[in-house]
Amino acid sequence: MPDDFLEIIYLFEFVLIVIVRKAQTSRYRKLSVAIDRKSWPDLILLTVSGIAMLLPLVYLFSDWLDFAHYRLPQWPGWIGAVLFAAAIWLLWRSHADLGLNWTPTLGIRAEDTLVTDGVFRYIRHPMYAAHILWGIATALMLPNWIAGYALLLATLVQYLSRVQTEEQMMIEQFGQQYREYRQKTGRIFPRIFRID
């Protein structure tokens, strides 16, 4: 059971981010897919990421990962709590802006439109940005070499392995419109200078 105030905050924020994701997942409908790049390696990465998301709960509710614990001052944990809150907001906003354009696997539906407003006005992959923030927050809030860093590592591997495929799918579906959009936005960080 969490015994530290930061651990309780982590657990509260964890519940919030799961609610945000589940609300979107429950709205997801299986419609016709125009471009589908779902593969076994991608499904394995999704599974590994899911496990990495749950390891903090193992750390918080059992002593199985105590061997990987290390000491950390509290102030990085408070920075982590703020980053986690930012991740929750960014994930929620990303889902709200995408609406039914979101799919959990590498695919684009025939009905999808190119979303370029909201957070997508600044970055093309805000969900990856949210998960990276969540991973950094976990590392700062939970001083454990396994539970603290597993999500960040899994997210970075997933991002690096998927982003090129996702961008290629977007070009195939939206062509020049997506190429122009790419010139105005950053992948996971906003561009400092927008080209309009």
Domain-embedded: residue 161: yes
What's residue 109's pLDDT? 77
Q: Are 187 and 125 in contact (CB under 8 A)?
A: yes
Domain assignment present for residue 24? The answer is: no
The answer to whether residue 196 is domain-embedded is no
Does residue 196 carry a pLDDT above 50?
no
Q: What is the mean pLDDT of the chain?
A: 90
Q: Residue 176: give its domain's CATH number.
A: 1.20.120.1630
Residue-number span of the structural domain to which 104 is assigned? 5-19+32-184
Q: What's the CA gap between 186 and 126, in Å, rounded?
A: 10
- Residue 67 counted as domain residue: yes
Cα separation of the two ends of the chain: 52
Specify the amino acid at residue 56: P
**Residue pLDDT, tens place only, 36-45:** 777 888 889 8
Please report whether residue 27 resides in a domain: no
- Distance CA(68)–CA(115), nearest Å, equals 42
Q: Does residue 125 lie in a domain region? A: yes
Q: Which residue has the tokens 């496990």?
A: 51
**Average of pLDDT values for 183-188?**
94
Task: Give the largest CA-CA distance in the chain.
Answer: 54
Residue carrying structure tokens 């889902």: 95
Range name among 73-77, 132-136, 191-195 with the lowest pLDDT average:
191-195
| Structural domains in the chain (count) | 1
Report yes or no on 68 lying in a domain. yes
Burial class (CB in 10 A: 0-12, 13-18, 19+), 116: middle
pLDDT greater than 70 at residue 193: no
Strands (E), the chain: 33-36, 107-109
Residue 105, in any domain of the structure: yes
Reported as a single tens digit per residue, the pLDDT across 162-180 is 999 899 989 988 999 999 9
**Closest alpha carbon to 123 in 132, 135, 134:** 132
d(CA 184, CA 193): 8
Please give the share of the chain, as a percent, with pLDDT higher than 90. Answer: 71
Helix (H, G, I), strand (E, B) or coil at 25: helix
